[in-house]
Structure 1
Amino acid sequence: MRILLLVFLLVGYSSCETPEQRARQLVSTLTLDEKISLVHGSRGSYVGVTPAIPRVNIPQANDQDGPQGESFLSRNTNVTSVGVGDGLKNVTFWPCTLSVISTWDPELMEQYAAAIGWEQRQKGVNIHLGPMVNIARNPVGGRNFESFGEDPHLSSIMADRYVRGVQSNRIVATVKHFVLNNQEYNRTTTSANAGIRATWEIYYPAFHSAVKAGVGAVMCSYNRINDTWACENQETLNRDLKGKMNFTGFVMSDWGATHSTAKAANNGLDQEMPDGTYFGQPLKDAVINGQVSQERLDDMVVRFLTALYRVGIMDELQTGTTTTNARNSTHDALSRKLAAASAVLLKNDDETLPIKDTVKKIAIIGLDGNDRVTAGGGGSGGVVPPYVVTPLQGIKSRAGPDVQITYDDGSDLKRAAALAAKSDLAVVFVSSWSSEGSDRQNLNVQSNGDQLIEAIAAAQPETIVHGFVAGAVVMPWHSKVKSIVVQFFPGQEVGNAVADVLFGDVNPSARLPVTFPISYDQVPAEKKTQYPGVDNEANYDEGLFVGYRWYDQKKQKPLYPFGHGLSYTRFKYGEAEVVENSDGSFNFTFPVANAGKRSGAEMYLSYPTSALEPPRVLRGFEKVQLEAGQMQKMNFRLGEEDMQIWNVVEDRWTAVKGRFTAHFGSSSRNLHTKKAFNRN
């Protein structure tokens, strides 16, 4: 009886151990060589591999990209992919991350991330190299389509849900690229030079949100930060990330971003990828000769194993392989739902959309309508798409046999214009494209897109433009067309999603997560010293004025503002009321009504202002589904944390006191109601 009781007590004690305690106990049993093997990558069938240690039941860690990548189908269909990444087959070709961000729907984001995580686990992956949360500082950024947009609050909310979704599958998420990695031009040599307040208020928040959500890994970036390499930066890694943010997981380098051994290890890097150039034998030697302490090496390994324990990798055998078929019909349906939900209706004169039953002849024009569907961007996370539904296929299927659908690739402007003129309506498909490794050369749609739209609009008054874009684009023709819809790289179900929106089966409710300028002359970080930098020094001296904040500060009107997006119905806002709570927070209420004839989703955004901040700063958003004629009272809480700034003197968050005004509306410029209040 005493033996049984002892066993019970031991099991009970073990089950109460934290992931970190379990990791420390295991590390105490490892040899020096075994510890070294866990702090650098090695060769394998995945993009990154940390070898197993069977003696103590440590499994092999398999790292795989997931945000975006590039593949090509036959018949010259230019599709690029989002999914498990790095060329793996039998996975879903998802919409890009910025596409899902444009839904402004945290629930959808978590579903998306959970589905990606599930497919990665089927493929034998246990460390997911995402999300990529670097702020879209300049609209030509090559990886903006992987990003979470230009605003730190929106990015933070979505980063939290992405991390939770991925890690619900016993997969470690890796938030990247820490930090100030906001351009591809000279990304491996440029120093991003930013002030402390801007770093904390603009560039850190999404990372901090991921840390609070329990993210297991942080990937440090290629660039230098204030002239020190990101992967050996004491201030950003040790002081801020592991210190002030209390990150307890591990820091891995981007592939080839390690530049030293003792300096990198002592300043916060825990794992070198993809090999052991610096953290293999050189690190072992550094530990033996005292340049790196045994305690620091143990900490590096503990952090790595803690992340594995925390999501359950150490407790459940990973059985997937790279050849496993990870696709299923549920994910195909979710891909279509996400793509349709991400369609942003920018313009809709005369209610041209949705397409009416009286329309019997539709001209589909442009390579992106069928022959070259730009459904994703380029980079490290490439998959082989299982299929792509083209817009022509999707529209034909939805329109039915009574509607004549014709197609022209747009290569001959006169021929395409003649086809448009003979039709009741023309839909011109255009695109922009970008990739990891380089920034966009301009903000125009690619090929002859601008000229094609001009020609079609001149021939057919009922012209709709539908763009598949990498981020913001300029539209010199926007006043000449009736309707404009954009999607940020919508993935394999692009054609069906297009049809869902154009025919009104889905009422658009997506909003822009980035500002669309009138021209490239009207963009933040417009000086060469700011972007791309001079002599490999990029100065972030625009400070807090990034994205819509810059346009507000400069009193410039963009083509389409941050948060813009129309619906097939109309919404009305009532006056806002405010109540101060005993804890110093404020509750705002205001009515929103669907004043149209069909159901739809409206999203309100909150922008409190104060003298010490940019003119308006996003602090909240919520999407609500309303039937025609329905009214709902909206509630918004503004907490003390929403009225703080980073105090550079005291090196901490400090609440601002004074008079504020809370603005509520459907975009950064379309503000419907406001309420002033005092915080004493």
Structure 2
Amino acid sequence: MKLGWLELAALTAASVASAKDLAYSPPYYPSPWMTGEGDWSEAYRRAVEFVSNLTLAEKVNITTGSGWEQERCVGETGGVPRLGMWGMCMQDSPLGIRDSDYSSGFSAGVNVAATWDKRLAYQRGMAMGEEHRDKGVDVQLGPVAGPLGKYPEGGRNWEGFAPDPVLTGVMMAETIKGMQDAGIIACAKHFIGNEQEHFRQSGEAQGYGYNISESVSSNIDDKTMHELYLWPFVDAVRAGVGSVMCSYNQINNSYGCHNSYTLNKLLKSELGFQGFVMSDWGAHHSGVGATLAGLDMSMPGDVALGSPYSFWGTNLTISVLNGTVPEWRVDDMAVRIMAAYYKVGRDRFRTPPNFSSWTRDEYGFEHFMVNENYIKLNERVNVQRDHARVIRKIGSDSTVLLKNKGALPLTHNERFIGILGEDAGSNPYGANGCADRGCDNGTLAMGWGSGTANFPYLITPEQAIQNEVLNYGNGQTNVFAITNDWALDAIASVASQASVALVFVNADSGEGFINVDGNEGDRKNMTLWRNGEQVIKTASKNCNNTIVIMHTPGAVLVGDWYDNPNITAILWAGLPGQESGRSIVDVLFGRVNPGAKTPFTWGKTRKAYGPALLTEANNGHGAPQDNFDDGVHVDYRRFDKDNEEPIYEFGFGLSYTTFNFSDLKVTPLPAAKYSPTTGKTKEAPTLGKAGNASDYLFPTGIMRVRQYLYPYLNSTDLRKSSADPYYGLDAKEYIPDGATDGTAQPRLPASGSSGGNPALFDDLFQVTATITNTGSVTGDEVPQLYVSLGGENEPVKVLRQFDRVSIAPGQKVQWTTTLTRRDLSNWDVPSQDWVITEAQKKVYVGSSSRKLPLSVELPSVE
């Protein structure tokens, strides 16, 4: 067996890390092959039939991207022209279509979490899926559960949902269902432990002046991995997600896209994931190593963006021909990709991409990287439909009312409305004037980076408030806006005349490849941006009816002003998308009664959240070591553990009405005793024979595109075809033990075909509670169920169930939910299985993590 210099370098680095006694990720081989169990059976059958008719080169072609900027999408695989199949299109983002036109700018994931509304999560997923589908996209690169939100200032937290695994898992699953019901493949990302932008890629970090040679290692213990970071990916797998993106960071000093433990063991073996694993762009670090460790698709295919070389493509063909990689492994990669394709109905819905990610011009080069083949690129297909309605509703239903001293809702008889702060107004460069939203000009409606989309328009708060007064007011209200955060004298003047001063402030964050005002993706601190705090203090000093509205990706420090008596209301509006102004006006003027709950904790200090985000290299020139020493105690769990009083707790949110909780009842349900999974898998199927090198020479009659990544050989001399100076070095001993073994493999105790051992998802208890609207207007309440698992060093309580219900004045609603075995279990490291400990379990129900008026102890469970 042969390995090249790339694999040898990676293995050498790993052994050096071991010598330093750094965190270690144990090997797990072979990479599990797809089984087609459950609702994957028909897709699996069709995929096997399709792949059985492919040549080795064709199989390789659908696993390898064609190269950065070589096709219209941010990533495209090769196709199978002989069978009329063009390459598969992968496109950002988790909130819309990045780098496109005539498409929508949706609310961010964090806003979806703030709604606590499963139905809205599904509707948003469906709407985004429809838009991607109609633009010719096969795989939408979202939703996000990594980052989960370990660090409150983490740059990309807003792309995901919440720092709680249950809230994130439910919203992720509903999003996936909506996307895939629309006929496109969802991609759950970034797997796993991707909790900060600093040091996520060594090259990017070097560009910021950090002298490191390896990406950051997220060092996570087994219990924390299962109970926190892996939890929402279980829900994604149970929702049938077609693909999972592995992350830039290392996990226990092994890169996410060739980490055999996380990919082979956790994802494919334990969770029974049936879809395919794709690399993040530039996260593919080895050829044979990544193949055997469980990577199924290389995106965008090149070693570095714009490079003419690939770890796969020709090199993957060679690795099968020379016997380094067994053909069953490449067969499995192709089957997983095609099974996801068939499962969501891509063969029924598919249209070629009708836009270009690289230019908004109507005509341009098809192969943008190398300026070849001038064609019509952008067909300007409008895919927006009526999705503005969903975006507007999510924006209003995610607005959290944090404080209200009778100031809200506003009436249409206000004498003088002052609109203060740059966050109320327009970006002078235009809504899309900063590439990938990489600035903080004007109102903030999404963060920055690859997780963005172009706005078709952006309704600012200033525009919407003025339109509201003009269209519905009495014709006598004065409205004035000051949208310069440093014009404090003008702000003071307007505030002193206003009957109500509406102050708009923000804080921003995003992806690490963009630096905004010294924030390298992650926020430098948790304060408001620009001159926001001075705007608030100036306005509130001059107006005793000041209302603060915040657009932020997460919590900010509000301790200096939140309890000011002149500040009569505070709202958090998150990152609401294109309908931002209309959404906030709906809440301010009472068309929508706020029912949102904060999906994170608002602490008094940054220190209250626990360990700081890693911003200094701490391992010489090697991989910075980010030790997840806080374990499962993240966000509200940390505050509970330290008995730290938050300003606004996780799950908190006010309404224009009031609610009462009563009559908690718990009923045991019949369920079979839990049994660990046993037995073995079937052996790996091999769907073809590779043949000889001469069968894979570059075909005649194909117009060869410069730097395009092909699966073909240039010579029957495999060493010359590989362009690898170390090819031919005898490295048989570097193939991990068992990595090429296609025989039947033992099943893990916690494993199952869809998210783990099926008994984990048996219902053990039914829980009911009565919720009464004790106010005078209809409103939404979010009943939240928490569980104390008991035991030493366990969280005080953990969220396990929730819903959002609408209740009329005086109406009583009985809320009913269930608790599964998984909900009551802990991960037991010695047995490598979930167990319900003997510690006393207790259920709490209420309106937030700190307002839980109902509680009851649970009977013991075997």
Give TM-score, length-normalised by structure 1: 0.93
* Residue aligned with 1:21, SS: helix
Preserved CA contact (<8 Å) 1:533 1:539: no
Whether the aligned pair in 2 keeps the contact of 1:94 and 1:335 (CA below 8 Å) is yes
Q: Out of 589, 602, 605, which is 1:516 matched to?
A: 602
Aligned counterpart, 2:277 = 251
Query: How far does the alpha carbon of each residue in 1:577-621 deviate from its partner, in whole angstroms, 9 at most, with x for none?
Result: 222233382222222110111000001111111322310100100
Equivalent-residue separation in structure 2 for 1:133 and 1:250 (angstroms): 17
SS in 2 for 1:307: helix
Query: Which of 641, 644, 654 is equivalent to 1:553?
Result: 641
Deviation at 1:636, TM superposition (A): 2.7
1:300 aligns with 2:333: yes
**Percent sequence identity over matched residues?**
36
Root mean square deviation, CA, Å: 1.7
User: For residue 443 of structure 1, what is the aligned residue in structure 2?
Assistant: 526
Distance 2:41 2:505 in 1: 56
Q: Give the distance between the partners of 1:332 and 1:317, measured in 2 at CA.
A: 24
Deviations 1:481-540 (A, max 9, x none): 1110011111111111111100111000111111111121221323x6x67773300000
2:155 pairs with 1:145 = no
Q: Separation in 1 of the partners of 2:47 and 2:188?
A: 21
State how far apart, in whole Å, the 2-side matches of 1:223 and 1:364 are: 43
Q: Structure 1 residue 538 and structure 2 residue 608: aligned? A: no
**1:521 partner SS:** helix
Stretches of structure 2 lacking an aligned partner (at least 5 in a row): 1-39, 202-214, 303-309, 356-378, 427-441, 513-520, 672-762
Query: 1:30 maps to what in 2?
Result: 54
Secondary structure of 2:799's counterpart equals coil
The yes-or-no answer on 1:198 pairing with 2:284 is: no
Look up the match of 1:502: 588
Shift of 1:561: 1.0
The alpha carbon displacement at 1:319 in A equals 4.8
Which of 597, 606, 614 is the equivalent residue of 2:785? 606
Residues 421-475 of structure 1 deviation map (CA, whole Å, 9 limit, x = unaligned):
1110100000111111121111111100011101111111100000111111111
* Aligned with residue 74 of structure 2, among 35, 40, 47: 47
Distance 2:222 2:452 in 1: 35
- Which residues in structure 2 correspond to 1:330-369 (within 5 Å)? 330-349=386-405, 351-369=406-424
Residue type of the partner of 2:182?
N
Range with greater deviation from structure 2 (650-659 or 177-186): 650-659
Please say if residues 123 and 178 of structure 2, whose CA atoms lie closer than 8 Å, have aligned partners that are also in contact. Answer: yes
Say whether the 8 Å CA contact 2:64–2:300 is kept in structure 1: yes
Using the TM superposition, give the Cα deviation of residue 329 of structure 1 relative to its aligned residue in structure 2, in angstroms.
5.0
SS in 1 for 2:527: coil
Partner residue of 1:120 out of 132, 140, 146? 132
Query: Residues 17 and 642 from structure 1, CA distance in 2 versus in 1: closer, same or farther, beyond 3 angstroms?
Result: closer
Task: Please point out which of 479, 482, 499 is paired with 1:424.
Answer: 499
* CA offset digits 1:617-669 (Å, max 9, x no partner): 00100111111111112223222221111110100111233422211111111
Q: CA deviation at 1:202?
A: 0.3
Which of 842, 846, 849 in structure 2 is aligned with 1:661? 842
Please show how residues 190-269 of structure 1 align to structure 2 within 5 Å: 190-269=216-295
Question: What are the superposed Cα offsets for residues 27-56 of structure 1, whole Å, 9 maximum, x if unpaired?
Answer: 122112111111110120110011221212
Q: Which structure is larger by alpha-carbon Rg, 1 or 2?
A: 2
- In structure 2, distance between residues paired with 1:597 and 1:678: 39
SS in 2 for 1:256: coil
Q: CA deviation at 1:187?
A: 0.8
1:385-404, Cα deviation, whole Å (9 max, x unpaired): 11111111111122233321
Greater share of residues in strand: 1
User: Counterpart of 2:316 in structure 1: which amino acid?
Assistant: L
Residue 477 (structure 1) aligned to one of 544, 555, 561:
561
Aligned partners of 1:531 and 1:538 also within 8 Å: no
- Counterpart CA distance in 1 for 2:76 and 2:822 is 40
1:186 and 2:186 aligned: no
- Alpha-carbon distance in structure 2 between the residues aligned to 1:25 and 1:633: 50
- CA apart distance, 1:384: 2.7
Letter in 2 for 1:218: V
Contact 1:548–1:562 (8 Å) recurs in 2: yes
Aligned residues: 648
The structure-2 alpha-carbon separation of the partners of 1:109 and 1:265, relative to structure 1 and needing over 3 Å to count, comes to same
2:318 corresponding residue in structure 1: 285
Letter in 1 for 2:766: N
* CA–CA separation in structure 2 for the residues paired with 1:582 and 1:247: 28
Amino acid at match of 1:302: V
**Residue of 107, 110, 113 corresponding to 1:95:** 107
What is the CA distance between 1:84 and its match in structure 2? 0.8
Describe the shift of the 1:259–1:533 C-alpha distance in structure 2 as closer, same or farther (beyond 3 A). Answer: same
Query: Is the contact between residue 123 and residue 324 of structure 1 (CA under 8 Å) also seen in structure 2?
Result: no
Q: Quickly say closer, same or farther: Cα 1:140–1:298, change in 2 above 3 A.
A: same
Return the alpha-carbon distance in structure 2 between the equivalents of residues 674 and 116 of structure 1. 39
Provide the C-alpha distance between the structure 2 equivalents of 1:576 and 1:315, rounded to a whole number of angstroms: 48
* Structure-2 change in CA distance of 1:635 and 1:317 (3 Å): closer
Aligned to 1:73: none
Q: Choose from 649, 657, 662 the match for 1:574.
A: 662
| Aligned twin of 1:457 | 540
Verify the 8 A CA contact 1:183 1:532 in the aligned structure 2. Answer: no
Query: Which one of the candidate residues 464, 467, 478 is aligned to 1:397?
Result: 467
Amino acid in structure 1 at the alignment position of 2:805:
V
Pick closer, same or farther for the CA change 1:461–1:172 going to 2, 3 Å.
Answer: same
- The alpha-carbon deviation at position 358 of structure 1 amounts to 4.6
Q: Which amino acid aligns with 1:665?
A: G
Q: Secondary structure at the match of 1:207?
A: helix
The structure-2 alpha-carbon separation of the partners of 1:327 and 1:285, relative to structure 1 and needing over 3 Å to count, comes to closer
Deviation at 1:383, TM superposition (A): 3.1
User: Equivalent residue for 1:129?
Assistant: 141
CA distance in 2, matches of 1:127, 1:376: 22
Structure 1: distance between partners of 2:563 and 2:800: 32
Distance 1:319 1:233 in 2: 34
Relative distance call for 1:582 and 1:23 in structure 2 (3 A) is closer
Q: Choose 398-407 or 164-173, whichever is displaced more.
A: 398-407
Aligned to 1:486: 572
